[in-house]
Amino acid sequence: MTRYGFVIDTTRCVGCNFCSMACKVENNLPEDVWWSRAYTDGGEVEQTPSGEWPDNLHMAFMTVGCQHCDNPACVKACPVGATYKDADTGIVRQDFDKCIGCRMCMAACPYSGVRTFNWEEPKYFLDFPVGSADAPKHQKGVVEKCTMCWHRIAKGERPACADVCRTLARHWGDFDDPDSEVSKLIRDRPYKQLLADEGTGPCVYYLV
Amino acid sequence: MSENVTAAKAAKAPAATFGGRGLTIGIAAAAAVTIVGLVLWGMQLAGGFMDTAMRDFAPWGINIALFMFFVGLSVGSMVVAASPRAFGFESFGGIAKMAAWVPICSTVLAIGFVVVDLGQPLRLWELFAYSNLSSPLMWDIIVLSVYLILSVVYLWTLLRAEKRQASAKALRIVSAVVLLWALVVCAVDGWIFGLMPSRALWNTALLAPWFVSSALASGAALVLVLAIALRRTGYVDVREEHVARLAKLLGAFVCVDLFFFACDLVTEGFPGGSGAGIVGMLVAGQLAPFFWIQIVGCALAAVVCFVPKLRTSPLLVAAGLLTVAGVFCKRMQLVVGGFQVPSLDYATFVTPFTVTSDWGVGLAGAYEGMVYAPTLPEVGLALGVLSLGVLLVLVGLKFLPLSSVQGAN
């Protein structure tokens, strides 16, 4: 079995949003749609340091997209099975052609903002599509989210975000393979998972 | 008994002119507003949802609140309509047929509110082709569809029994089945929200029974208001003792509903922790207007229902309307409050799709006020759907034999 997921080294991440940008370009995401975002672990405003001034300040970021959970709340909630867990890869998929746009999955998913809804006809900054030719087509009135670059994995490539990370903070691989880089990382390093006590079993691990 | 006597006298001399020009004008007006609603829906389908206040961090709004509300109204009025026959206790007068028609209209409305909320309504057929049986929404669609059919069967049996074409026993069985099923519908409706682990305000075992109590309160209130109004027009034969019995029932339902609210607030607030934040949000925070309208409105309604001297027709109508408004406020609290507490509250960059807030204030700015407050086009569309319900009720009153007064139909 294969269980793909990410390991993100928060001690290396500088919150540059390069992964978010790569995702946006690779998947030809419409204006204002982001499947990945850097979250600041500091205060109410983006890029606020945590701790106390002046000697004890530090900044930490978490890049958050779909957590591709082992027990996804969205998959249980979707009335038509438009979002489902792929048995061969563990990837939580979203069938844009099947989604009825009820947004039950968005209400169910505890990771606020990783699921996006196309509230209007997708618009683009450029008048030509960018990214991969086989990237998913975007349509109005459906829920979208990170596909883990399904189209790239199918070609034997890594997800775009893992490919571009400039600080080498983002790792991608198969957690069911004990010899994979991601398996070794979570074996050797302390990590946390987002909202682990919700029982969703996220497949994104944050090294701390 | 010190029931109001003047109203009873008025009721004894029904105008017997029900269904005249007034009703026709009402039907025409409701149809006109429904058409406006259809136009607004068409605009939403063509242009998208950016005219609404729904965004990625608050993906549901007034339509879902009204969906819950009308499922509750349907269940509540059905229980009031069917319980005398199901349990064989004294009736509420000649309201049974009218109170069996209202739930059918309410259920249609509830379905309507979900349909206009869909991003892809043309894919509705998938619900039946690709049903995912692990989804509480799917459970609700199934039980609600069955309920709609049962409601029609119940009304049909009621009309048949009146013409002595169906036995009293058959009617009693159908009444019991529809009553039980109505409660199932209500509980499953609560589970759509209560089973979502990530929404602190929803995720409580109390939610399903609470949905039942709110449903009974709003349903009894609506039936009471309609009974008084239709008695005045000489459409139904309701005596003062029936009104008083309905009022006492309404008072009891309202008190149970308030008791559940108290249980919830104490359980959330007492340990301190994050629950105290939820209590604060309701009592003195962003949702305080909805909270206090509900609490004060329902408390006043209970007083009117229980104090015999206050049980006059105008005050009872006011009590009924206060209860209905209060339960609607509860529904808005649930929808908005569910999203008002994000389970992942780290700061990030914000786009026009994330939340409705001015540029630069980020997520913190968006959560300072209500994260969702309906916009004018949303309210317009909701009114359009609502008038479809009014239209259905009025057409039913005009063309179906729902009256309990000879010659009114």
Q: In b/e form, how buried is each residue of A140-153, taking b as 16+ CB within 10 angstroms? A: bbbbbbbbbbbbbb
Type of residue at B162: E
Do A80 and B351 count as a contact with CB atoms less than 8 A apart? no
CA pair distance A53, A187, nearest whole angstrom: 35
B78 to each of A68, B165, B175, B215, how far by Cα in Å?
A: 43, 22, 9, 10
pLDDT (tens digit per residue) in B28-60: 999 999 999 999 999 999 999 999 999 999 999
Q: In b/e form, how buried is each residue of B36-63, taking b as 16+ CB within 10 angstroms? A: ebeebbeebbeebbbbbbbbbbbbbbbb
Rg (CA), chain B: 22
Q: Please report which confidence band the pLDDT of residue B7 belongs to, taking 50, 70 and 90 as the band edges.
A: very low
Do B121 and A121 count as a contact with CB atoms less than 8 A apart? no
CA pair distance A76, A86, nearest whole angstrom: 14
How confident is the model at residue A47, as a pLDDT? 81
Do A120 and B363 count as a contact with CB atoms less than 8 A apart? no
CB proximity under 8 Å: A 135-154 to B? 140-143
Residue A4 or B367, more confident: A4
Q: Which of A46, A111, A119 sits opposite B353 (nearest CB)?
A: A119
How big is the CA angle at A24 (ends A18 and A27), to the nearest 5 degrees? 130
CA pair distance B12, B143, nearest whole angstrom: 41
CA pair distance B109, B69, nearest whole angstrom: 10
Domains of chain B: 53-374 (1.20.1630.10)
Res B366 pLDDT > 90: no
CB proximity under 8 Å: A 108-127 to B? 108-113, 115-121
Q: Which chain A residues contact residue B56 at CB under 8 A?
A: 106, 113, 115-117
How confident is the model at residue B303, as a pLDDT? 97
A40–B contact, CB cutoff 8 A = yes
- Half-sphere exposure of residue B109: CA atoms within 13 angstroms, side-chain side: 32
CA pair distance B362, B372, nearest whole angstrom: 15
What predicted TM-score, i.e. pTM, was given to this entire model? 0.92
Query: What are the tokens at B41?
Result: 């829906």
Cβ-proximal residues to A67 (8 Å cutoff; 6+ apart), any chain:
A111, A114, A193, A194, A200, A202, A203, A204
Domain spans of chain A, in order of start:
4-207
CA distance B386 to chain A (A): 20
Cross-strand partners of A52: A56
Q: Specify whether the backbone of B399 is left (phi greater than 0), alpha (psi in -120 to 50) or beta.
A: alpha
pLDDT tens, per residue, chain A with 208 residues: 899 999 999 999 999 999 999 999 999 999 999 999 999 887 777 788 888 888 888 888 999 999 999 999 999 999 999 999 999 999 999 999 999 999 999 999 999 889 999 999 999 999 999 999 999 999 999 999 999 999 999 999 999 999 999 999 999 999 999 999 999 999 999 999 999 888 899 999 999 9
Q: Is A147 helix (H, G, I), strand (E, B) or coil?
A: coil
User: Best of B120, B131, B368 to disrupt the A interface by mutation (most A CBs within 10 Å)?
Assistant: B120
Q: Please report which confidence band the pLDDT of residue B92 belongs to, taking 50, 70 and 90 as the band edges.
A: confident
CA pair distance A107, B192, nearest whole angstrom: 10
How confident is the model at residue B301, as a pLDDT? 97
Res B181 pLDDT > 70: yes
Minimal CA–CA distance to B308: which of B250, B361, B244, B351?
A: B244
Q: At A32, give phi and psi (nearest 5°).
A: 65, 10
Do B137 and A79 count as a contact with CB atoms less than 8 A apart? yes
Res B9 pLDDT > 70: no
Bond before B14 cis per omega within 30 degrees: no
Q: Which chain B residues contact residue A115 at CB under 8 A?
A: 56
Place of tokens 């082709």: B129
Q: Is A155 helix (H, G, I), strand (E, B) or coil?
A: coil
Per-residue 3-state assignment (H helix, E strand, C coil) for chain B:
CCCCHHHHHHHHCCCCCCCCHHHHHHHHHHHHHHHHHHHHHHHHHHHCCCCCCCECCECCCHHHHHHHHHHHHHHHHHHHHHHHHHHCCCCCCCCHHHHHHHHHHHHHHHHHHHHHHCCCHHHCCHHHHCCCCCCHHHHHHHHHHHHHHHHHHHHHHHHHHHCCCCCHHHHHHHHHHHHHHHHHHHHHHHHHHHCCCCCCCCCCCCHHHHHHHHHHHHHHHHHHHHHHHHHHCCCCCCCHHHHHHHHHHHHHHHHHHHHHHHHHHHHHHCCCHHHHHHHHHHHCCCCHHHHHHHHHHHHHHHHHHHCHHHCCHHHHHHHHHHHHHHHHHHHHHHHHHHHHCCCCCCECCCCCCCCCCCCCCHHHHHHHCCCCCCCHHHHHHHHHHHHHHHHHHHHHHHHCCCCCCCCCC
CA pair distance B401, B409, nearest whole angstrom: 6
Q: Please report which confidence band the pLDDT of residue B374 belongs to, taking 50, 70 and 90 as the band edges.
A: very high
Pair B56, A117: CB distance under 8 Å:
yes
Q: Please report which confidence band the pLDDT of residue B345 belongs to, taking 50, 70 and 90 as the band edges.
A: confident
Number of CB atoms found within 10 A of residue B398's CB:
15
Minimal CA–CA distance to A74: which of A112, A30, A36?
A: A112
Query: What are the tokens at B175?
Result: 């009444």
Per-residue 3-state assignment (H helix, E strand, C coil) for B211-261:
HHHHHHHHHHHHHHHHHHHHHHCCCCCCCHHHHHHHHHHHHHHHHHHHHHH
Do A37 and B348 count as a contact with CB atoms less than 8 A apart? yes
Query: In this predicted complex, what is the ipTM?
Result: 0.92
Res B403 pLDDT > 90: no
B360–A contact, CB cutoff 8 A = no
Number of CB atoms found within 10 A of residue B159's CB:
16
How confident is the model at residue B17, as a pLDDT? 56
Do B353 and A33 count as a contact with CB atoms less than 8 A apart? yes
Residue B188 burial class via C-beta count within 10 angstroms: exposed 0-12, middle 13-18, buried 19 and up: buried
B117–A contact, CB cutoff 8 A = yes
Residue B49 or B403, more confident: B49
- Half-sphere exposure of residue B154: CA atoms within 13 angstroms, side-chain side: 33
CA pair distance B221, A88, nearest whole angstrom: 54
**CATH classification (class only), A4-207:** alpha beta
CB proximity under 8 Å: A 161-190 to B? none
Mean pLDDT of chain B: 90
Q: Which chain B residues contact residue A121 at CB under 8 A?
A: 48
CA pair distance B353, B57, nearest whole angstrom: 8
